[in-house]
Amino acid sequence: MKQSLGAKTLVYPTPVFVVGTFDANGKANVMTAAWGGICCSQPPCVAVSLRKATYTHGNIVARKAFTISIPSESHVRLADHFGLVSGRNVDKFAVSGLTPVKSELVDAPYVKEFPLIIECRLVHIFELGLHTQFVGEVMDVKAEESVMRAGRLVDIKKVKPLSFAPDTQEYYGIGDCLGKAFSIGEKL
Amino acid sequence: MKQSLGAKTLVYPTPVFVVGTFDANGKANVMTAAWGGICCSQPPCVAVSLRKATYTHGNIVARKAFTISIPSESHVRLADHFGLVSGRNVDKFAVSGLTPVKSELVDAPYVKEFPLIIECRLVHIFELGLHTQFVGEVMDVKAEESVMRAGRLVDIKKVKPLSFAPDTQEYYGIGDCLGKAFSIGEKL
């Protein structure tokens, strides 16, 4: 029996993206966002939605670029912190001890210590309400060698990305592999 | 040391959404999509991106509505199958034995047997390239009582949603709880 829970932002799972930008003074900033995901295969694009009140929102509009750094389980405190404080008041790289790396492809920094990086140039801004959706074209993906399998594929069990559960407001890790896509369901 | 992997659609994790629609004859259809996520809090909106070639794409344009049914781990074969065959040729509800339920709120069906349902009315269509992004306003979320905690919150460990790993093309379950959001990172 299903219960009606009303209109709310609830899907499972949602990602934990650490969005990197430069401000007007060139200071590197990061913020955490869970409203986003891949939105196109050709050109490869990623969407991330931010409230206008965030420091990152203005940075993306001005610089027309952002990165997504994917934190591992060991970075869960840092990822949460980056969603709690504003780059207006705090140098989040300084307080965290993480290292900003200036992308050579887009006008934005990424987190050196995080295992998986997506570098994006801004291609669309969609005003949806409280949130603005930024669509970035992926210019490159970078991964630590330590999270790769043979064949240059990125192993999610080595990345150990976080998922955010909106309803209970908790972070979760990734579980077991359940099967090969485009294969396990060939025969029902 | 980071390796450059080129421009591609790779973030971890991505969700596994089973998108429900009616076709022009009122036949209920489902397809699986991993390019999507929450995109706005007020109004609550969810985005899902589909290729124009899909049957579901035309259904959403015509009916201006869709649902998202979140499959559990036990539904992994069905979820994969729904991404392998087209509703043009196959009655996916009939072959799967699942039950379509007509939403009372939007002009689309959902999967009775899946634990978590999001009912959406179409509010935006964004052409991004190979994929069209459909933004739906969430009109209601419905969940099985069996996946809820006290206090009407949906427990991700009871839903057991799937994640899709794009690079290795595999499905994964949800792992352990790693902490409370907006809390664990208050002190670094």
Give the count of alpha carbons within 13 A of A127, CB side only: 2
Size of interface A-B (CB pairs under 8 A): 367
How far apart (Å, rounded) are the C-alpha atoms in residues A109 and B92? 45
Instruction: Kindly report, residue by residue over B153-185, the tens digit of the pLDDT.
Output: 999 999 999 999 999 999 999 999 999 999 999
Structure tokens at B77: 């074969």
Question: Which residues touch A167 (CB under 8 Å, ≥6 apart)?
Answer: A8, A10, B153, B154, B156
| pTM for this model (two decimals) | 0.98
Q: State the complex-level ipTM.
A: 0.97
Instruction: Specify the residue for token string 């009606």.
Output: A4
Instruction: Specify the residue for token string 């209109």.
Output: A7
Q: Which residues of A touch B186 (CB under 8 A)?
A: 80-81, 84
Q: Do A170 and B188 touch (CB under 8 A)?
A: no
What is the 8-class DSSP label of residue A78? H
Beta carbons of A136 and A17 less than 8 angstroms apart: no
How far apart (Å, rounded) are the C-alpha atoms in residues A24 and B20? 44
Mutant choice from B5, B81, B92, B157 vs A, greatest count of A C-beta within 10 A: B5
Distance from CA of A152 to the nearest CA of B (A): 8
* Cross-strand bridge partners of residue B60: none
Instruction: Kindly report, residue by residue over B99-138, the tens digit of the pLDDT.
Output: 999 999 999 999 999 999 999 999 999 999 999 999 999 9
Q: Which residues of A touch B155 (CB under 8 A)?
A: 168
Nearest to B40 among A38, A130, A139 (CB): A130
Task: Using pLDDT thresholds of 50, 70 and 90, give the confidence band for residue A1.
Answer: confident
Nearest to B138 among A8, A148, A178 (CB): A8
Nearest to B140 among A4, A145, A154 (CB): A4
